[in-house]
Amino acid sequence: MKIAQNTVVTVNYKLSDAQNNLIEDGAQPMVYLHGGYENTLPKIEEELDGKDVGYASTLQIEPEDAFGDYDPNLLKVEERNRLPEPIEVGMQFEGMAEGGDDEPVIFTVTEVADDKVVLDGNHPLAGMALRFELSVIDVRAATEEEIAHGHVHGAHGHDHGDAPEDSEEGDHFRSQPLQ
């Protein structure tokens, strides 16, 4: 079956930066609903559209087509006593960017000092060119429910469990903090 609108695609991947430093070894394959549901980067969908199981490719994606340029305005220093304890590097908080619009931003703690904490609202992969080694291992038709929800269910897919329906990061390209 070829990759097309409303197919569920399973891809083994390895993610490196443009200098070939490994970022994620893709121990778990990426599984996504194809067809502009923003489950993965548009450039990846573009590359895989019309392809079949066994297709393999290395794709370099520039920051503007991945997680954007690094924005120094999203870096902020907070008084430590304004944040919950214990606090450590890598923790994430939702907050508002100063002078930004009303979109909440996920801030990652990047430095902790005695009385100050540095928070970075950039995506961990912002400003980086990304190199994906992709290998398609499965393609199947999506179920009606998956199409209605706009994401994959089942193994490796979206688990409805008792977590609330995640609106933003849920099934995007795996983008957990890279610790």
Nearer to Zn ion, 34 or 158 (CB): 158
Burial of 122 (0-12, 13-18, 19+ CB in 10 A): buried
Chain position whose Cβ is nearest to Zn ion: 149
- 135 within 8 A of 11, measured Cβ to Cβ: yes
Query: What SS3 state is found at 108?
Result: strand
User: Least distance (Å) from Zn ion to the CB of residue 149?
Assistant: 3
Nearer to Zn ion, 131 or 158 (CB): 158
| Residue 149 found at the interface with Zn ion (CB under 5 A) | yes
User: Least distance (Å) from Zn ion to the CB of residue 99?
Assistant: 35
User: Least distance (Å) from Zn ion to the CB of residue 28?
Assistant: 19
Interface segment toward Zn ion; rule CB under 5 A; list 26-34, 66-74, 120-128, 157-165: 157-165
User: Least distance (Å) from Zn ion to the CB of residue 168?
Assistant: 15
Q: Tell me the DSSP string of 4-53.
A: -TTEEEEEEEEEEETT--EEE--SSPEEEETTTSSSS-HHHHHHHTT--T
120 vs 92: CA distance, rounded Å: 9
Q: Which residues bind Zn ion (CB under 5 A)?
A: 149, 158
